[in-house]
Amino acid sequence: MALTPAERKRRQRENEKTLVMKPFRMDLAASERAAIEAGAQAGGYEDQTEYVLALVYADRDTSQKGAEA
């Protein structure tokens, strides 16, 4: 049975609470927004948030490899 919009929203809030999600706001210049948009499109990402997170994770992984050496 399909969920109602209210049920979907409740599940979303529950999931966000479980993951301890919080909003993250950034003030970006037009050139910075354009660079993120271009990178996301070039990388075939669904959205710009996915692209930025991929960069963060890649940087984390690189940093961890450097610490292990």
- The string of pLDDT tens digits covering residues 38-51 is 999 999 999 999 99
Rounded CA gap, 38 and 4, in Å?
36
Mean pLDDT of 8-36: 96
Q: Does residue 1 have a pLDDT over 90?
A: no
Could you tell me which of 46, 56, 58 has the C-alpha nearest to residue 26? Answer: 56
Rounded CA gap, 58 and 45, in Å?
15
Mean pLDDT of 21-33: 96
Q: Does residue 18 have a pLDDT over 70?
A: yes
Q: Does residue 14 have a pLDDT over 70?
A: yes
Rounded CA gap, 48 and 54, in Å?
10
Inter-CA distances, 22 with 9, 16, 17, 36, Å? 16, 8, 9, 21
Q: Where are the domains of the chain?
A: 25-69
Q: Which residue has the higher pLDDT, 68 or 7?
A: 7
Beta strand ranges found along the chain (DSSP E): none
